[in-house]
Amino acid sequence: MLSSVNQSLPSAAELPCSDDTPVDNEDQNLLPNLLLLLLTHLWSERLDWYFGADMAVYHTTGPSHLVPVVPDGFLSLGVERKKGGKSRRSYVMWEEQNVPPIFVLEIVSHQPGDEYTRKLETYSQLGVLYYVIYNPEFWQRDRHQPFEVYKLEGDTYRLQIGEPYWMPEAGLGIGRYQGQFGGIPQELLTWYDAQGHRHLSAAEQERQRVERLEAYLRSQGIDPNDLPQ
């Protein structure tokens, strides 16, 4: 049951779904959505998680509960996959039993967006355990590394070492790899297991299955390209 304080706060239906600030590079849309797509495959049997991309997170730790923070991507655990069976318009913490995201991703823009200052402070106040800043283009400008993982220790973020970085509380690792999207090679973010192995997408797993089958057929003297129709 909501507390009397929560009852006085607006509902998700009354709040804007974002802050209407457009992204200024395509990776801010692409990379979080690729993480979501892979997680949907990995956790297809689970209903206790939610991953949002470019979605407003409303909270009561700032100067106004009407001003959200909008991560490029975030993961929350212990919440409904579908809120009341429906898609969320925004992530309203007082309607989520005040469960903060366990993981937040920010991708640094052409225009600096306070990822290393104001947002870091906001996420620490929210209690976000892992804060990842991905800065492949402007890290030298900002005097940081291209990929940084911060873990909340007490009320302070500490920069972590190692990549891919394993997050035991989430049961996921996060890191970079050289892949392809739309036939174009590029650096991508993805999930890893505890042994540092990259989780494969459903399409990659199917391709590996086909390759193993073709290799077996060749080992038996059968040309997989000359099978009867």
pLDDT of residue 2: 41
- What pLDDT, on the 0 to 100 scale, is given for residue 24? 65
- What Å distances lie between residue 124 and 42, 116, 162, CA to CA? 28, 12, 21
Backbone dihedral angles phi then psi of residue 148, each to the nearest 5 degrees = -130, 135
Residues 6 or more apart in contact with residue 101 via CB below 8 angstroms: 57, 71, 74, 75, 76, 91, 126, 128
Whether 56 contacts 16, CB under 8 Å: yes
Task: Give pLDDT, residue 22.
Answer: 56
73: nearest Cα among 167, 194, 189, 199: 189
Tokens representing 214 are: 């073709």
Segments in 8-160 forming alpha helices (H):
27-42, 118-126, 139-142
Model confidence pTM above 0.75: yes
The pLDDT tens digits along the chain (229 residues) read 344 445 578 777 777 665 555 556 788 889 999 999 999 999 999 999 999 999 999 998 888 888 899 999 999 999 999 998 899 999 999 999 999 999 999 999 888 779 999 999 999 999 999 999 999 999 999 999 999 999 999 999 999 999 999 999 999 999 999 998 888 899 999 999 999 999 998 888 878 787 788 787 788 777 778 777 6
Work out the angle at residue 70's Cα, subtended by the Cα atoms of residues 154 and 52, and round it to the nearest 5 degrees: 90
Residue 165 CA to residue 229 CA, distance in Å, equals 47
Tell me what pLDDT residue 202 has. 83
pLDDT number for residue 20: 55
